[in-house]
Amino acid sequence: MLVGEAGGGADPAQGGTASAQDGAAAQDGAAAQDGAAPAQDGAAPAQGGAAAPSFLCDAMLGGLSRWLRGAGYDAMFEHGIDDGDLVRLAQQTGRVLLSSDAGVFERRCLRTAAVRGLYVPRGLRPTEQAGFVLRELGLPVRDPRCMACGGALTAAPKDSVRDAVPAVVADRHDEFWRCDRCGKVLWKGSHWDGIVAGLAAAAGVASTTEAAAPPAGGRKPPP
């Protein structure tokens, strides 16, 4: 959707994998920083902090999983998984189960909160679903993760990715990131500002992504 990608397979949805770590762009998209109070711990967790929940999306919510990754959360999506396996996987991994199937929430481990879950209303677009989840859980928009797999992104020196991206891309861009999990090389695309703004607006929550801080030590820019 918003940025270019290289080194991976075809991106299944939204026309291109995304990801961008650009602080300035993120700042543009930030909703009021002191907007909705984060539900966890009373304070916005640090970027990449342990407080950030990870998610498991049901078979109908593949688009949502990608947008949650774009919002900086590790979201897992298993195509075709049945409800029983889905719930077991959520329990095993400690992920918050997201489903639009009300029947799933009748299961005992969800009723007893042994598995955390959130019902996502039907009829919403993926961006609206993501906004709903962030709002319901009081979560901020963070620096994006790899939208293909949910892996964390690490700033990659241009010289290290030159062979992995088209020459025209290397000519036009100076900032690149590599997914720690799937190895995709990403760069910021022209739609990123709008995407981040749309996501933050849909969520109606604060964003922890701020301009600033240049990448340090080969890691993502801090919040």
Which residues ranging from 40 to 99 are in contact with Zn ion (CB under 5 A)? none
Q: Is 201 in the site for Zn ion (CB under 5 A)?
A: no
The single residue among 88, 107, 173, 181 that binds Zn ion, judged by CB under 5 A, is 181
**Per-residue x/- track, 90-119, Zn ion (CB under 5 A):** ------------------------------
Per-residue b or e along 101-123, where b marks 16 or more CB atoms closer than 10 Å to that residue's CB: beebeebeebeeeebbbebbeee
Helices 62-70 and 192-203 pack at an angle, to 10 degrees, of 100
Q: Nearest Cα to 205, choosing from 14, 72, 17?
A: 72
- As measured in angstroms, the least distance from the Cβ of 39 to Zn ion is 27
- As measured in angstroms, the least distance from the Cβ of 62 to Zn ion is 15
- As measured in angstroms, the least distance from the Cβ of 185 to Zn ion is 10
Q: How far apart are CA 3 and CA 17, in angstroms?
A: 6
The Cβ-side half-sphere exposure at 118, using a 13 Å CA radius, reads 21
Task: Compare residues 68 and 179 and give the one whose CB is closer to Zn ion.
Answer: 179
CB 73 within 8 A of CB 142: yes
The burial of 185, by beta-carbon neighbours within 10 Å (0-12 exposed, 13-18 middle, 19 or more buried), is given as buried
Q: Nearest Cα to 178, choosing from 190, 168, 164, 166?
A: 164
- As measured in angstroms, the least distance from the Cβ of 219 to Zn ion is 16
The single residue among 109, 124, 137, 182 that binds Zn ion, judged by CB under 5 A, is 182
The single residue among 20, 179, 195, 199 that binds Zn ion, judged by CB under 5 A, is 179
Which residues ranging from 135 to 164 are in contact with Zn ion (CB under 5 A)? 146, 148-149, 151
Residue numbers of the site for Zn ion (CB under 5 A)?
146, 148-149, 151, 179, 181-182, 184
